[in-house]
Structure 1
């Protein structure tokens, strides 16, 4: 009669999922760069300030005091006041929400338009690819800002309209990135295997192709966030974005420009905010690209 002993306790840790290892390696590569840590920390700080703005703003950002126009930097007005006597620091804090919301809307619209069409064109080829590529080439040949201005002239000014217009402008660039990556993935054997077992095209696109094109898509989307913020600031500077009395960094720059002789330093707070935030988005995009490239070489 044979006896079997009870299995002993299992030692060690469970094996790391195959999909988690590349993500961990990419995260480690990102965190090795001090510039990336600073950029991510700055963007997280902006999110925190946008949430806490109603509680930490020293003054009502819409309250006017014409007797205190262009007040200098002081303990009461940390960044002075504008042409209507409104506290610049409070308006700068309240404008953070729009500065973060605007890129999210425009890049979201671009992703909604560019990703499905790019996946479809890259996987289908043929007539579908030819037609969609020619449309994207035609849109890319147009000056982006001028095309956005044409859309705004039809639908009218306002933050939502401006961001949708910018999303349409950004969509062709995302289409080209996704299409090129999808064409490379479409040649892989696992795509043929998925088709051979009867997987519909929609499942092949979203389950097999999209995860494999997410790396270049993430890089492009991050860089477009900075470009969207810069474009929104430019359009708000022209009076086509956020409408008064709402505060935005672009409209604050316009006010500072119009009153540059009365308050020469008023251009600094919104100008520095735009420059540093765009730089943070671009730094994060460059870091993600470098990390993806370094991971691919291993």
Structure 2
């Protein structure tokens, strides 16, 4: 994100955090006035419902094997057919929603824990602390995220948690940069000087006065990273380094479809479409939030 965008979103956050409560519903109304936003939010809500109610919605046990029904075509009993082991594709697709949502939550959660406090501290205090943390962030930003995750998995072993924590460490510098830039802009405001003058501690200044005012750019970046994390999880599971069998994930389903592309050429469509639509929903929602916040900041 550019410096101008960060500054504009930070100004929007300051307006919202300074008691201008009356305009918040209008901003929310403008956000959901866009059909793309409604569709994206509705799709993500549908995924959450599927993840919660997977055991009731899925027609079969996602790990139950029936070799006699390998590569069964679409039917009433198997709406999306079966895979090479005779497992119901629709059931596995539904159960995989849980991991499709859990993986981004883990990686982005780690990034938030590492990037937000350090970005707030560096933006407010600056000096040596800012220099050291910024150089460390620059170093981590130079590392390819997927390659770093592969290195961590090679040391700690394959698994969803190890891979997503490694990605979270790589995502943290981008959140640090966004929060630091917005915090530096907010720290120049008179209400921050007033908070210091009345004796507010650094912790209270950061969490009560600055954090709410940098929430807008932070929310945009977080939404975009959710989509990136999902793609990374699918890639790692495709390579066999993410979710391990017999658990279902869209990445591992893509791998199965790839290995059996001549026996079942259409088996790549269900997990592939699911990944594309989910990432598109995250990115569309993030773009909508960005556009709404920046247009409000220009009013």
TM-score (norm 1): 0.93
CA distance in structure 2 between the partners assigned to 1:88 and 1:116 by the alignment: 42
1:64 aligns to what? 65
RMSD (CA atoms): 1.0
The SS at the match of 1:288 is helix
Contact 1:25 1:295 in 2 (8 A): no
| Count of residues in correspondence between the two structures | 282
Find the counterpart in structure 1 of residue 131 from structure 2.
130
Shift of 1:159: 1.0
Q: State the partner residue of 2:37.
A: 36
For residues 128 and 79 of structure 1, the distance between their equivalents in structure 2, rounded to whole angstroms, comes to: 55
Tell me what 1:177 maps to.
178
- Residue 291 of structure 2 corresponds to 290
Aligned to 1:52: 53
Output the CA distance in 2 between the equivalents of 1:206 and 1:18: 17
Query: CA deviation digits over 1:182-204, x for unaligned, max 9?
Result: 01011111111111111110010
Which ranges in structure 2 are unaligned for 5 or more consecutive residues?
Answer: 1-17
Matched with 1:10 is none
Largest Rg, 1 or 2: 1
Structure-2-length-normalised TM-score = 0.93
| Residue matched to 2:97 | 96
**Which 4+ stretches in 1 moved above 6 angstroms?**
none
Superposed CA deviations along residues 208-263 of structure 1, whole A, max 9, x for unmatched, are 11011000000000000011001000000000111000000000000000000000
CA contact (8 A) 2:243 2:249 kept: yes
Work out whether residues 119 and 182 of structure 1, in 8 Å CA contact, stay in contact via their aligned partners in 2: yes
Alpha carbons 1:152, 1:161 under 8 Å: kept: yes
Determine if contact 1:22/1:295 at 8 Å carries over to the other structure.
no
SS at match of 1:48: helix
Question: Matches of 1:193 and 1:75 in 2, distance apart?
Answer: 67
| SS of 1:264 mapped into structure 2 | coil
Distance change in 2, residues 1:72/1:165 (3 Å): same
Paired with 1:19 and 1:169, the residues of 2 have a C-alpha distance of 36
Hey, what's the Cα distance between the residues in 2 that align with 1:244 and 1:23?
46
Match of 1:11 in 2: none
Contact 2:103/2:160 (CA < 8 Å) preserved in 1? yes
